[in-house]
Amino acid sequence: MVTIATLFNEQEVRPFFELSKASIRRSRHPFTILLLKLHETIDDRSRTAIVDFLANEIRLTDILFQITDENALGLMLTESGGNEATALLKRLEARSPFFFNLFATCIIEVRNGAAELHQVLNHGFKAIRKEGVHRIHDYEEQIEEEIKVSIIEENSMLRRVLATTVESILIDGMELTVQLFEDGQSFLESEWLKSSHTHIIIMNDVLPRRNGLEILNIIRQMPNQQKFIVFMMTNNSSEDEMILSYERGADGFFIKPFNIRLFEAQIKRTCKGLWR
């Protein structure tokens, strides 16, 4: 398949950069700037051949641009991290070792919405004054995100144990804020579930004033239901009951009595899995 190359300049790529930056918190996808600095000046025909080669190796959603003053090309890899950029470089080298040897390269993964394009490019160009493959990590620090956690459980002791366990979980770039409820209705009537934050719900299937399945049905009918991650707690190990809960939108199960360390590990894994 032959792709007709679209080559942007630095000013034209700026809106794409800003759009990707603005969507970082919502999509939890990083994006990456890959800089390729030519070792020497080449003629227009050779440059066109390089641009065409790159255009046929990248995705349609990726953006190829030139920085004339630096005798360089840039690739903006949307929704791709630094590891994907590394894999792309290896593929380019395998396809055309001659092409790969023309450049010094720099990989800059962006996870921070405060990054500015000119800063990212300037930082990258300082790195690729020397030959080889370089990687800059300065823009990978995530802006701290609040994750809401609701624990809905009638038993006050278990409620407190679960809350203490969740509050002890430390994850870079995330703050887990916990709220406790002893029945389903008080949870549904609270203002707590109305924000746009990612919201982990850990609730018993049997509850006073609205049971767990009722709450699950209500949540999954909300327009913003994707923000909820729901774990059911149950004394009932019936496969039919578990299948029903999964079909209605549960994301996981804890069958009582469960190991509190396994519970902690599952919540931690869930939070870390939010970022890709």
According to DSSP, residue 142 is labeled P
10's tokens: 């630095």
Calpha distance 267→71 (Å, rounded): 48
53 Cβ contact partners less than 8 Å away, ≥ 6 residues apart: 96, 99
Q: Tell me what pLDDT residue 1 has.
A: 42
pLDDT of residue 6: 78
Q: Which helix (H) or strand (E) holds 15?
A: helix 10-22
* pLDDT at position 2: 44
Left, alpha or beta for 42 (phi > 0: left; psi -120 to 50: alpha)? beta
Q: Could you tell me which of 75, 81, 134 has the C-alpha nearest to residue 104?
A: 134
Rg (CA), the chain: 25
pLDDT at 234 over 80: yes
Counting beta carbons within 10 angstroms of the beta carbon of residue 121, is it exposed (0 to 12), middle (13 to 18) or buried (19 or more)? buried
**Structure-token pair, residue 220:** 């999954």
Q: Which pTM does this prediction carry?
A: 0.66
Residue with more model confidence, 164 or 236: 164
SS3 28: coil
pLDDT digits (tens, 9 = 90+) for 53-107: 898 888 888 999 988 777 889 999 988 899 999 999 999 888 888 777 888 999 9
pLDDT at 3: 46
Per-residue model confidence (pLDDT) at position 243: 84
Kind plus residue range of the DSSP H or E element containing 31 = strand 31-38
CB atoms within 10 A of CB 133: 17
First CA to last CA distance, the chain: 30
Residue 110 pLDDT? 93
Question: Tell me: the pLDDT tens digits for 153-180?
Answer: 999 999 999 999 999 998 877 889 999 9
Backbone φ, ψ for residue 106 (5° rounding): -140, 130
Give the mean model confidence (pLDDT) for residues 210-231. 89
| Joined tokens for residue 229 | 């991650």
Residues above pLDDT 90, as percent of the chain: 38
Q: Is the pLDDT of residue 150 over 90?
A: yes
- Cross-strand partners of 134: 106
Q: How far apart are CA 126 and CA 117, in angstroms?
A: 14
Quote the distance between the C-alpha of residue 27 and its chain's center: 6
Alpha helix (H) residue ranges in 150-272: 156-167, 184-189, 212-220, 239-247, 260-272
More confident residue, 109 or 206: 109
What is the rounded CA–CA span in Å between residue 67 and residue 11? Answer: 10
Determine the pLDDT at residue 191: 87
Instruction: Please give the helix or strand (H or E) that residue 177 lies within, else none.
Output: strand 174-181
- pLDDT for the residue 276: 60
Higher-pLDDT residue of 242 and 199 is 199
Give the pLDDT confidence score for residue 131 in this predicted structure. Answer: 83
* pLDDT 10s digits, 35-51: 998 877 778 888 888 88
How confident is residue 109, by pLDDT bands cut at 50, 70 and 90? Answer: very high
Residue type, 115: A
Per-residue model confidence (pLDDT) at position 75? 94
